[in-house]
Amino acid sequence: MKKLLTLLFVGALIALALTHSAKAENSTGNVSSGLYVSDVINQSTVIRAGFNWWESDSGGFIGVIYYDTVPGRYQYLADSSVFTAKDGSFYVNIPTNKSCMVYYFKFIVIDKLTGKKSTEHRMITTPNKEKAVLLGFNLSQIGFNFAEVQFSFNEFCDYADFELKCSESGKLPFITITRGQDDYKTSLKKLLSNLDPNTEYSISFRLFFPHRSDLGETIIAWGFRTLSNLPPVVESNSAIDVKNESATVTAWIDPRNTWNSESEVRYGEHITLEQKTGWTPVQQKGNYGFYLPNLKPNTVYFWNSFARNDYGNDNGETKMFKTNEFATAVTEITSDDLLQVSSCPAGIRIYPEKDAIVEIYSITGQKVLTTNLRGGEAKIFSSLTPGVYIVKSFIEGYTVTKKSIVN
């Protein structure tokens, strides 16, 4: 008895036919199987699984279909009645809206004449209907001479190409990466190296399907600046909101576009600045405030601002303020009790009673030098050209101004 049985699986998207065939000799005769994809029903992908047979003069057969989306785990789908006609077909439709989903099938054919059966295992992937959508992008790492960019996408299963271009702003691209991606992942990372420090760069990214123009493409462009390899810059500003037991001091800080810059304020009753606020991160250029708690009322405090990163450090000018039971005011006075200034053959001799910040100006108002002096210690400033000088000292919450002559 001659018998030819064809096992047919049919699933999604018109005009595209992915065929696979195999033949095996078993109790039901020569069995052929194939996988095809066709159009959708009601805009939904449909997998069609079933049997075709012809020129059969057997006593009949039964076809049973199992399937699942997990390999090796099958659930019953359908079975045919006993077919005795020479020619015929039997199909089952499985609607699905999921792109890139793999379905696993097991087909069993039972020969009613002999009771023997044959089994075929097949799989099919639903076609991709999704356009590429950029879900996110960011600089996952950045340094002074490199940057790593990361992109994430929706899920699709077609072969895709991407093109990444990088250039200094306003210039032609000098880094171009183009690569096909046949093993799709939902994210990509690419390293851009040999960049210049503290420089603006432009990036353009394009994802497209070379064989599926119907899916369109995704294009995005943006810019970034590499970090610098320079130390930060800091300037001490002033004390604000001074109270009897606390104060806030401000400093202007430029981290110089480095990611690990940090700053702190050091302060104390002596010019050695015994207390510290602790290091805090600084990411942007601007004015920063530092709160100083647990101060003594009616007491002079010295303070200064500091900044550092991996490439160096900087500090501002030491300044001072005086706490009070109520508000602190700085009063301009002249007092021999607080500061002694005299001329000597070697220059100008300055003796402060308390720790002081001293500035020396020329008669025209140009600042010659700034220094910190310990209270009770005299210091001679030599190497000054002959002329009249103004000595200005900040001491005990007062500003003391005196005149001196260098012969």
The β-bridge relationship of strands 300-309 and 312-315 is antiparallel
* Per-residue pLDDT at 205 exceeds 80: yes
Mean pLDDT confidence for 274-300: 92
Give yes or no on whether 134-225 and 233-322 have one common fold: yes
Q: How far apart are CA 110 and CA 65, in angstroms?
A: 12
CATH of 134-225, one of 2.60.120.10, 1.20.1560.10, 2.60.40.10, 3.30.9.10: 2.60.40.10
Tokens of 235: 């300037």
Counting Cα atoms < 13 Å in the Cβ hemisphere of 67 gives: 22
Counting Cα atoms < 13 Å in the Cβ hemisphere of 108 gives: 15
> Does domain 233-322 correspond to CATH entry 2.60.40.10?
yes
Tokens of 297: 């009322």
- pLDDT, averaged across the chain: 76
The β-bridge relationship of strands 347-352 and 339-344 is antiparallel
The β-bridge relationship of strands 356-362 and 387-395 is antiparallel
pTM: 0.48
Among 92-101, 203-212, 331-340, the range scoring the smallest mean pLDDT is: 331-340
Architecture in CATH for domain 4-125: Sandwich (2.60)
pLDDT at 223: 86
Structure confidence by residue, pLDDT tens digits, 102-138: 888 888 887 777 777 888 888 888 777 767 677 778 8
Per the model's pLDDT, the better-predicted residue between 224 and 397 turns out to be: 224
φ and ψ at residue 214, rounded to 5 degrees: -70, -20
Distance of alpha carbon 100 from its chain centroid, rounded?
29
Kindly report the CA angle at 67 between 66 and 71, in degrees rounded to 5?
Answer: 125
pLDDT at 73: 85
* Per-residue pLDDT at 84 exceeds 80: no
Per the model's pLDDT, the better-predicted residue between 199 and 335 turns out to be: 199
* Per-residue pLDDT at 50 exceeds 80: no
* Per-residue pLDDT at 372 exceeds 80: yes
Q: Is 348 helix (H, G, I), strand (E, B) or coil?
A: strand
Q: Which sequence spans correspond to the domains of the chain?
A: 4-125, 134-225, 233-322, 331-406
* Long-range contacts from 127-130, C-beta under 8 angstroms, 24+ separation: 127/12, 127/13, 127/16, 127/37, 127/45, 127/99, 127/100, 128/99, 128/100, 128/156, 128/157, 128/158, 128/212, 128/215, 129/13, 129/45, 129/99, 130/99, 130/100, 130/154, 130/155, 130/156, 130/215
Q: Is the dihedral of CA 339, 342, 348, 349 positive or negative?
A: negative
Among 9-13, 164-168, 388-392, the range scoring the smallest mean pLDDT is: 9-13
pLDDT at 121: 86
DSSP bridge partners of 109: 63, 118
Structure confidence by residue, pLDDT tens digits, 255-273: 988 878 999 999 999 989 9
Topology annotation, domain 331-406: Immunoglobulin-like (2.60.40)
Distance of alpha carbon 339 from its chain centroid, rounded?
56
pLDDT at 389: 84
Q: How far apart are CA 122 and CA 21, in angstroms?
A: 10
Amino acid letter for position 40: V
pLDDT at 75: 85
Is the CB of residue 372 less than 8 Å from the CB of residue 358? yes
Q: How far apart are CA 355 and CA 393, in angstroms?
A: 10
Q: Is 214 helix (H, G, I), strand (E, B) or coil?
A: helix
Per the model's pLDDT, the better-predicted residue between 138 and 29 turns out to be: 138
Cβ-based neighbours of 83, under 8 Å, separated by 6 or more = 53, 56, 60, 61, 62, 63, 90
Beginning with the edge strand found earlier in the chain, give each strand of the sheet holding 88-96 in spatial order: 22-26, 29-37, 4-11, 45-54, 88-96
